[in-house]
Amino acid sequence: MTKFRNAMGALLCAALLAPLWGGEDKKDEKKEAPKKEATLIIKVPEDATLWIDGEEYTDQKEKTERTFRSTPLEPGKRYFYTVKAKWMPNNYETYTRVRRAIVEAGKTSTLDLTKIDPKVPDDIFIRFVPTPQEVVDKMMEMGKVGKDDIVYDLGCGDGRLVVTAVSKRGAKKGVGVDLDPDRLKESNDNAKAAKVTDKVEFRKQDVMKVAKLEEATVVTMYLSDGLSDQLRPILLKRLKPGSRIVSHRFLMGSWKPEKTETVTVDGEAYKIHLWTVPGTPKKEEKPVEKKPVEKKDDKKPEKKDDKKPVEKKPVEKKDDKKPENKDDKKPVEKKPVEKKPVEKKPENKDVKKPFEKKDDKKPENKDDKKPVEKKGDKKPENKDDKKPVEKKDEKKPALMVRR
């Protein structure tokens, strides 16, 4: 009787579990939906070098549309690639633009790297072309540089503007920033020769990220229309009302200069533009009240959460799922040749020949490159909306449009 009961029990268990096993098989079938490639069409300037997730992408070089195919990806998920393009629109500027492309298995998406995004400024590097001393002097005069001024030169080259500001005009401080260490060395040497090292400072910084810019009362620059335009919202936000901005040759997009003057040196014409940061200067600040000294115990312990971990790629959007495998994202057919491309410095050969050659073309219409103005940007009034007409013989760095 007991044997019979056990046998019946076993049969009952098997009958109950059977549907579950069957269900498991079906689940596995569902998981195996076929993976598919994603296609990404990348629009770039013809001469751009391209990197996808840090690896140089050499296919279809010199084409303005390059097609990238991913390895098979899981359908229904979105993946992103970091795409970087670097090109020289002329022999004076080097642009580096980075964007994120979202792709999906079996689908084609397009990333247009030829378009400016004012929310994501480009890295722009300008090669060194010095401003002639007579033009430097005129820039100081237009900026009314005097003993109470702190002068910042953005992209200081050999430091001549900074040194002139303190040595000839008696400015109380001069700061120059540049990315090129050789230029910074030259700047320091020139400050030594002029015996003004105690009043100047030269820093290796990008003009878009200058520390303590708020202290400047005069900003000078000789960059490019593109880079100066990118700087406009930064200068308007960070400089005090009444601060002067003096630029050799280049303009700041829709912010028209209040004054433009031309200096002729050795028969060459040089344009200088002046802007004043709008707004009412704050009344002199009262001395800051002394706060009671904080006791040791008063110090708040650092919150652990304050330090956010650095985001790792690929980043999931809320509804994004993670790609299962890093390798899934490598291009299927050809692997990019260089894994870690060494970024070339822009050539500096022409430093001593900064002027436009007869057959050099002017840079592209700057309106083409104008970033769309941000809502929050202040637009100072301008009486004269007309573009200053450049004289034919104005000395310019050679701006050779390649395209």
Q: Which residues of this chain interact with ligand SAM, rule CB under 6 A?
A: 124-126, 128-131, 153, 155-157, 160-161, 177-180, 183, 206-207, 222, 248
- To ligand SAM, the closest distance from the beta carbon of 276 in angstroms equals 20
- To ligand SAM, the closest distance from the beta carbon of 169 in angstroms equals 16
Of 199 and 248, which CB lies nearer to ligand SAM in the complex structure?
248
Nearest to 74 by CA among 48, 100, 35: 35
183 phi-psi bin (left φ>0, alpha ψ -120 to 50, beta other)? alpha
Of 84 and 248, which CB lies nearer to ligand SAM in the complex structure?
248
Name the closest residue to ligand SAM (Cβ).
Answer: 155
Of 41 and 179, which CB lies nearer to ligand SAM in the complex structure?
179
Of 52 and 251, which CB lies nearer to ligand SAM in the complex structure?
251
Q: Which residues pair with 1 in a beta bridge?
A: none
CA count, 13 A, side-chain hemisphere, 192:
6
Q: Give the β-pairing of 49-52 and 78-87.
A: antiparallel
298 CB neighbour count, 10 Å cutoff: 8
Nearest to 59 by CA among 75, 73, 39: 39
- To ligand SAM, the closest distance from the beta carbon of 123 in angstroms equals 7
Place of tokens 């894994």: 339
Of 111 and 231, which CB lies nearer to ligand SAM in the complex structure?
231
- To ligand SAM, the closest distance from the beta carbon of 132 in angstroms equals 8
- To ligand SAM, the closest distance from the beta carbon of 237 in angstroms equals 18
Of 189 and 384, which CB lies nearer to ligand SAM in the complex structure?
189
Calculate the alpha carbon distances from 101 to 70, 84, 214 in Å. 12, 10, 36
Q: Taking a C-beta distance cutoff of 8 angstroms, is the pair 23, 46 a contact?
A: no
- To ligand SAM, the closest distance from the beta carbon of 399 in angstroms equals 12
Calculate the alpha carbon distances from 278 to 217, 247, 344 in Å. 13, 17, 39
Of 126 and 142, which CB lies nearer to ligand SAM in the complex structure?
126
- To ligand SAM, the closest distance from the beta carbon of 151 in angstroms equals 11
Report d(CA 372, CA 351) in Å as an integer. 32
Burial grade of 373 (CB within 10 A; 0-12, 13-18, 19 or more): middle
